[in-house]
Structure 1
Amino acid sequence: MKIVQGSTSGYRRISTQDVAAAFDPRRLIQARRIEGLTKTSLARQLDVTPMSVTHWESGSNQPNADHIVELAQVLNVPEAFFAIGRPYIHVSQSDAHFRSLRRTPVAQRQKATAYVEQVWELTYALEKYVRLPEVDVPGLSNGESTSLGLDPADAARHVRNHWKLGLGPIPRVVRTLEKHGIILTLAEFAGESTPTVDAFSTSRLPRPIIVLTPERAKDVYRHRFTAAHELGHLVLHGESAHGDVKLEKEADEFAAEFLTPEESITPLLPSRMDLRALDQLSKEWGVSIESLIYRCRELGIVSDSAYRRAFQRLNQLRKVELFVGNPVNRHPGEMPILLREAFKMAEIKDLPLPVLADELAMRPARVRQLLGITDRRPKLAFV
Structure 2
Amino acid sequence: MVSEYEKERCTSQPKDATIDAFSKALNYPAEFFFSDDVDEVENNAISFRSLKSMKASQQHAAVGAGAIGVMLNSYFSDRFNPVDINIPNLTGSDPELAASIIRTEWNLGSQSVGDMINLLEKHGVRVFSLDENTLSVDAFSFWKDGTPYVFLNTKKSGERSRFDAAHELGHLILHRDEIPQGKEIEREADRFAAFLLMPRDTVLPYSGKFLTIDNILKLKKNWKVSAMALIFHMKNLGVITEWQYRTLIIDASKLGLRTNEIDGIPRETSKLIKQLLAALQARGVSVRTISNELNLPIDEVTGLLFMLGVVSNPKKAKEHVLRTKPSLTLV
Alpha-carbon distance between aligned partners in 2 of 1:249 and 1:177, rounded to the nearest angstrom: 21
Contact kept? 1:123, 1:339, Cα under 8 Å = no
- 1:98 partner letter: F
- 1:182 partner letter: V
Task: Return closer, same or farther for 1:205/1:104 CA change in 2, 3 Å cut-off.
Answer: farther
Q: Quote how far apart the aligned CAs of 1:264 are.
A: 2.2
Alpha-carbon distance between aligned partners in 1 of 2:48 and 2:59, rounded to the nearest angstrom: 8
Equivalent runs, 1:346-357 vs 2, <5 Å: 346-357=280-291
Note the alpha carbon deviations across 1:243-300, whole angstroms, 9 max, x for none: 3100110001000100011122211455333323222220121112211211222112
Q: Quote how far apart the aligned CAs of 1:203 are.
A: 1.9
Asked if residue 89 in structure 1 is aligned to residue 32 in structure 2, the reply is no
Q: Which of 42, 66, 69 is the equivalent residue of 1:116?
A: 66
Q: Quote how far apart the aligned CAs of 1:221 are.
A: 1.2
Contact kept? 2:23, 2:30, Cα under 8 Å = yes
Matched residue, 2:230? 292
Alpha-carbon distance between aligned partners in 1 of 2:20 and 2:203, rounded to the nearest angstrom: 60
Matched residue, 2:244? 306
Asked if residue 202 in structure 1 is aligned to residue 153 in structure 2, the reply is no
64-73 or 149-158, which deviates more? 64-73
Query: Which stretches in structure 1 are left out of the alignment for 5+ residues?
Result: 1-51, 140-146
Q: Which of 91, 114, 117 is the equivalent residue of 1:174?
A: 117
Asked if residue 55 in structure 1 is aligned to residue 4 in structure 2, the reply is yes
Matched residue, 1:78? 29
Task: Return closer, same or farther for 1:205/1:308 CA change in 2, 3 Å cut-off.
Answer: farther
Contact kept? 1:157, 1:258, Cα under 8 Å = yes
Q: Quote how far apart the aligned CAs of 1:308 are.
A: 1.4
Contact kept? 2:91, 2:176, Cα under 8 Å = no
- For residue 132 of structure 2, give the secondary structure of its aligned residue in structure 1: coil
Equivalent runs, 1:361-380 vs 2, <5 Å: 361-373=295-307, 374-375=309-310
Equivalent runs, 1:103-182 vs 2, <5 Å: 103-139=53-89, 147-182=90-125
Q: Which of 210, 213, 219 is the equivalent residue of 1:272?
A: 210
- 1:243 partner letter: Q
Query: Which stretches in structure 2 are left out of the alignment for 5+ residues?
Result: 317-331
Note the alpha carbon deviations across 1:74-129, whole angstroms, 9 max, x for none: 2212221112436x321122111112322111221011111110011011011111
TM-score, L = length of structure 1 = 0.74
- 1:82 partner letter: F
Alpha-carbon distance between aligned partners in 2 of 1:298 and 1:288, rounded to the nearest angstrom: 16
- 2:300 partner letter: R
TM-score, L = length of structure 2 = 0.85
Percent same amino acid at aligned positions?
26
How many matched pairs? 312
Note the alpha carbon deviations across 1:309-336, whole angstroms, 9 max, x for none: 21012212338x996362x6x35xx112
Alpha-carbon distance between aligned partners in 2 of 1:273 and 1:260, rounded to the nearest angstrom: 17
Q: Which has the larger radius of gyration?
A: 1
- 1:208 partner letter: P
Asked if residue 338 in structure 1 is aligned to residue 272 in structure 2, the reply is yes
